[in-house]
């Protein structure tokens, strides 16, 4: 009798864990309730992409910023009339509007087919996969079943996103808090093969004395030409100077050549603990793609709300009540 009682307690604990975490995510979560979900999101993302390439890096970055604050729960999409939502935090002000617009339009299209069924968090996760594919990157099965969060506060962003001057230990510590390994971190950093950055995020590297010695000298001059001192703060440049519109492993080749835009990029090649992985990804694109897929699936499980947690937002920009 005692053995049975202990077994029942253990079973109930397992069920509680599954209800609260990633065990609730399933690739076919909406197979019956919204069977055309993925094709609908794919179509909306593709349409947005034909309007502007920024759709790709903006959506991918939006997914990362969402998951690292409050978990993957679409809290970054909330708008606040008082300017104190997650998206209003200093570290999120540079998020391009096209990423938000992509998810909002995809959600609207899904709502016409399956009202009140699919979370904004799941649509963002699917959209992130789609933009990688559109840029020539790999595809993967997206786990679904997230619910939208009920908290979105600018004050909770600080300290939860990587900074451009982070060293390897700081990067590893931050990613480890989200159950991501150093290998995951280096693979996810490869997303910097797409997108752009404002000059003020790296200006200290080129306007210090001496110039950051880990920078290739010709690349440093290129950065100074594009970003003169006191430049318009709205000016931004490509993070990958070679193939900025293609999802590929050139980012790692750039690091080997001293062309990492942020010091937190370049450190991946200068630190002996991470350099072998950079070298491997630069030489073997298949290894990079496989590691990126694994890391994106793990990223998508960070802090998810499932079961009775959170809500299914009707409008991604506002809580239901």
118 annotated as belonging to a binding site for a ligand: no
162 annotated as belonging to a binding site for a ligand: yes
Residue 100, burial from CB neighbour count under 10 angstroms (0-12, 13-18, 19+): buried
Catalytic residue among 65, 107, 146, 147: 65
66 annotated as belonging to a binding site for a ligand: yes
65 belongs to the catalytic site: yes
311 annotated as belonging to a binding site for a ligand: no
71 annotated as belonging to a binding site for a ligand: yes
73 annotated as belonging to a binding site for a ligand: yes
Q: Distance between CA 157 and CA 35 in Å, rounded?
A: 35
244 annotated as belonging to a binding site for a ligand: no
Q: Distance between CA 213 and CA 222 in Å, rounded?
A: 15
**How many residues does the structure list for the chain?**
321
86 annotated as belonging to a binding site for a ligand: yes
Q: Distance between CA 185 and CA 268 in Å, rounded?
A: 10
The full DSSP string for 150-187 is: S---GGGTTTSS--TT--HHHHHHHHHTTT--HHHHHH
How many angstroms from the chain centroid is the CA of residue 97? 15
DSSP 209: S
189 annotated as belonging to a binding site for a ligand: no
285 annotated as belonging to a binding site for a ligand: no
- Find out whether 64 and 95 touch, Cβ atoms under 8 Å: no
How many angstroms separate the Cα of 318 from the Cα of each of 91, 128, 225, 263, 307? 21, 21, 42, 36, 20
Q: Distance between CA 196 and CA 95 in Å, rounded?
A: 10
Give the up-direction half-sphere exposure of residue 92: CA atoms within 13 A in the CB hemisphere: 33
Q: Distance between CA 207 and CA 200 in Å, rounded?
A: 11
Binding residue positions for substrate: 162
Binding region for heme b: 192
Q: Which residues are catalytic?
A: 65
Which residue positions form the known binding site for Ca(2+)? Answer: 66, 69, 71, 73, 75, 86, 193, 240, 243, 248
Q: Residues annotated as binding site?
A: 66, 69, 71, 73, 75, 86, 162, 192-193, 240, 243, 248
């Amino acid at each position: 009798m005692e053995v049975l009682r202990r077994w029942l307690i253990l079973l109930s604990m397992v069920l509680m864990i599954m209800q609260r975490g990633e065990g609730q995510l399933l690739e076919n979560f909406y197979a019956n309730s919204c069977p055309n979900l993925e094709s609908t999101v794919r179509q909306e993302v593709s349409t947005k992409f034909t309007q502007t390439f920024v759709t790709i890096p903006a959506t991918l970055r939006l997914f990362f910023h969402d998951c690292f604050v409050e978990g993957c729960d679409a809290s970054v999409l909330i708008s606040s009339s008082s300017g104190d939502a997650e998206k209003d935090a200093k570290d999120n002000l540079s998020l391009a509007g096209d990423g938000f617009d992509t998810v909002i339009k995809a959600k609207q299209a899904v709502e016409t087919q399956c009202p009140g069924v699919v979370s904004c968090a799941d649509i963002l996760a699917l959209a992130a996969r789609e933009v990688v594919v559109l840029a020539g990157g790999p595809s993967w099965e997206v786990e679904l079943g997230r619910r939208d969060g009920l908290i979105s506060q600018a004050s909770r962003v600080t300290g939860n996103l990587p900074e451009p001057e982070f060293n390897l230990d700081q990067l590893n510590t931050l990613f480890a808090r989200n159950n991501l390994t150093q290998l995951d971190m280096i693979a996810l950093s490869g997303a910097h093969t797409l997108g752009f950055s404002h000059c003020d995020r790296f200006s200290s590297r080129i306007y210090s004395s001496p110039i950051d010695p880990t920078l290739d000298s010709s690349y440093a001059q290129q950065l100074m030409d594009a970003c003169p001192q006191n430049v318009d703060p709205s000016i931004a440049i490509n993070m990958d100077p070679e193939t900025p519109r293609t999802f590929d492993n050139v980012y790692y080749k750039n690091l080997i050549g001293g062309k990492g835009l942020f010091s937190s990029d370049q450190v991946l090649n200068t630190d002996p603990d991470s350099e072998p992985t950079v070298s491997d990804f630069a030489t073997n694109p298949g290894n990079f793609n496989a590691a990126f897929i694994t890391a994106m699936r793990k990223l998508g499980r960070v802090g998810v709300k499932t079961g009775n947690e959170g809500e299914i937002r009707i409008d991604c920009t506002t809580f239901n009540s």
